[in-house]
């Protein structure tokens, strides 16, 4: 659950951009990939606003595609601006992760 | 009303364009369908998700660096005695344009009296008050007349501030809309609910676009939505460079204000 991982909110955009850089996808597909990666079960009320935000900022480009069963799907494709943001945020993440690693590694055995 | 209809209506109420509201409503239903679920199961109550979505979509703009402007209100060593009783003494407060100050304290500690002193309606026993010329005051029990309509109030208060009649009326309507209220032409103030009457007070206080706004617990009778609208409005005023002083007893309001003056201490 996202509720007990408050820090995820700050890095959800990064995760979404990374997945979209790999391949275009739609909301439910992204939710499944996040869960499979073990990052989090992101509720729809968090996921879809984040996707709309990426769209609004021009970081992801939506397009509609039919699905075999059920309603059509809104697929998102990463834009050039999205790739730039991804690179910047990935760097930030690495710094953050290394910092936290350093703080905990001396007191918590792996 | 169905979930999508409630959702769309709330988006409209929050100020989204009709086309955008319709589009978001359609998409949200489709998103729920991706999970083979009803919207309520994925997103919860429609009106709450609408507010959540709008706030998620509006925080993306980078927060502009807030700069504060000139001093619009300065109290120095202000005290008030009433029948040989000290209500409060030695109160000092400086509020600049672009700042929000909150006056807090227990009942009867003189919060409303201090606000009237800020407005120049009550004379302090000691100390000095300097203030800008254009001041708007929203008292707790506003000076409204029950037999007049909202529009008549706009014209009356506008005339007092030297505004042309049509301009006063249209400004009033515009300000009311920001508080999610559409005044009806045929409705007298005595027919309005307490919360709506409070909105009228707020509109009247702002009608002549004062530089300093003094608000005395201006949300009595507001429901949760109107209460949030109210604070959004306060921060919009602040970002437009105005100074705001709010009397409040709700402590969770204080997270985003610049100065807190506790009269009971």
CB neighbours of residue A7 within 10 Å: 10
**CATH number for A86:** 1.10.10.10
Residue B183's pLDDT is 92
Chain B contact set for A52 (CB, 8 A): 24, 53, 56-57
Contacts of B42 in chain A (CB under 8 A): 43-45
Query: Is B44 at the interface with chain A, CB within 8 A?
Result: yes
| Cβ-based contacts of B36 with chain A (< 8 Å) | 70
Strand A73-78, strand B71-82: pairing: unpaired
- Nearest by CB to residue B52, choosing from A45, A70, A73, is A45
- In chain B, residues with a C-beta closer than 8 Å to the C-beta of A70 are 33-34, 36
Top-confidence residue, B236 or B119: B119
Segments making up each domain of chain B, as ranges: 3-58, 136-262
Give the whole-angstrom CA distance, residue B98 versus residue B184.
33
Residue B250 has, within 13 A of its CA and on its CB side, a CA count of: 13
- Would the CB atoms of B35 and A44 count as touching at under 8 Å? yes
CB contact under 8 A, B34 and A49: no
The set of long-range contacts for B53-60, using a CB threshold of 8 Å and a minimum separation of 24, is B53/A48, B53/A49, B53/A52, B53/B11, B53/B24, B53/B28, B54/B11, B54/B14, B54/B16, B56/A49, B56/A50, B56/A52, B56/A53, B57/A49, B57/A52, B57/A53, B57/A56, B60/A53, B60/A56, B60/A57
User: Distance of CA B148 to CAs A79, B154, B181, Å?
Assistant: 57, 10, 17
Query: What φ, ψ does residue A67 adopt, rounded to 5°?
Result: -115, 160
* Interface-testing mutation among B30, B38, B40, B45, with chain A (most A C-beta atoms within 10 A): B30
B185-200 residue pLDDT tens: 889 999 988 888 888 9
Domain boundaries, position A56: 8-105
Taking an 8 Å cut-off on Cβ atoms, the answer to whether A53 and B60 are in contact is yes
Domain membership flag for residue A2: no
The yes-or-no verdict on residue B227 having pLDDT over 80 is no
pTM value is 0.55
And the tokens for B101?
A: 């100050």
- Residue B259's Cβ-count burial label (10 Å; 0-12, 13-18, 19+) is middle
In a domain, A110, yes or no: no
- Residue B138, classed as helix, strand or coil, is strand
Q: How much is the pLDDT for A1?
A: 40
Work out how many domains chain A is built from and give that number: 1
A44 with B52: Cβ contact below 8 A: no
A100 to chain B, closest Cα gap in Å: 27
- Cβ A73–B52 below 8 Å, yes or no? no
Q: Tell me the per-residue pLDDT of B77-127, one tens digit each, with 9 for 90 and over.
A: 999 998 888 889 999 999 999 999 999 888 788 998 999 999 998 999 999
pLDDT greater than 70 at residue A3: no
CB contact under 8 A, A53 and B33: no
Pick the CATH number of B136-262 from 3.40.50.2300, 3.40.50.300, 2.30.30.360, 3.40.1010.10: 3.40.50.300
Per CB-CB distance under 8 Å, the chain B contacts of A28 are: 31, 34-35
Sheet bearing B135-138, strands edge to edge:
B135-138, B212-216, B243-247, B100-104, B259-262
Q: For residue B37, give the chain A residue with the closest CA.
A: A44
Q: Which of A27, A45, A71 sits opposite B43 (nearest CB)?
A: A45
- What percentage of chain B exceeds 70 in pLDDT? 94
Q: At what angle do helices A27-36 and A44-56 cross, to 10 degrees?
A: 120
Highest mean pLDDT: which range of A8-22, A62-76, B220-234: A8-22
């Amino acid at each position: 659950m996202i509720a007990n991982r408050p820090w995820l909110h700050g890095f959800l955009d990064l995760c979404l951009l990374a997945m979209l850089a790999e391949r275009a996808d739609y909301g439910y597909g992204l939710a499944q990939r996040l869960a499979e990666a073990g990052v989090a079960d992101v509720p729809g009320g968090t996921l879809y606003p984040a996707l709309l935000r990426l769209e609004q900022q021009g970081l992801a480009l939506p397009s509609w595609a039919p699905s075999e069963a059920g309603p059509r799907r809104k697929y998102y494709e990463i834009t050039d601006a999205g790739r730039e943001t991804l690179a910047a945020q990935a760097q930030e993440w690495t710094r953050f992760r290394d910092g936290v690693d350093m703080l905990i590694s001396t007191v918590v055995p792996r | 009303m169905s979930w999508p209809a409630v959702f769309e209506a709330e988006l409209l109420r929050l100020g989204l364009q009709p086309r955008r509201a319709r589009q978001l409503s359609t998409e949200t239903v489709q998103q729920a369908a991706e999970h083979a679920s009803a919207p309520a199961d994925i997103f919860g109550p429609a009106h709450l998700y609408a507010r959540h979505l709008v706030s998620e979509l509006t925080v993306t703009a980078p927060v502009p660096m807030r700069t504060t402007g000139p001093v619009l209100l300065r109290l120095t060593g202000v005290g008030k005695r009433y029948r040989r009783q000290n209500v409060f003494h030695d109160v000092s407060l400086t509020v600049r344009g672009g700042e929000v100050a909150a006056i807090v304290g227990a009942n009867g500690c003189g919060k409303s009296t201090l606000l009237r002193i800020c407005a120049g309606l009550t004379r302090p026993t000691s100390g000095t008050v300097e203030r800008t010329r254009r001041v708007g005051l929203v008292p707790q029990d506003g000076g409204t007349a029950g037999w007049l309509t909202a529009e008549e109030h706009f014209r009356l208060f506008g005339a007092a501030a030297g505004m042309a009649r049509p301009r006063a009326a249209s400004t009033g309507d515009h300000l009311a809309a920001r508080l999610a209220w559409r005044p009806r032409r045929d409705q007298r103030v005595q027919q309005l609910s307490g919360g709506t009457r409070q909105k009228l007070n707020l509109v009247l206080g702002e009608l002549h676009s004062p530089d300093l706004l003094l608000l005395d617990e201006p949300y009595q009778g507001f429901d949760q939505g109107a209460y949030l609208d109210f604070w959004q409005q306060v921060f919009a005023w602040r970002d437009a460079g105005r100074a705001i002083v709010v009397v409040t007893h709700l402590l969770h309001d204080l997270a985003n204000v610049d100065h807190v003056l506790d009269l009971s201490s």
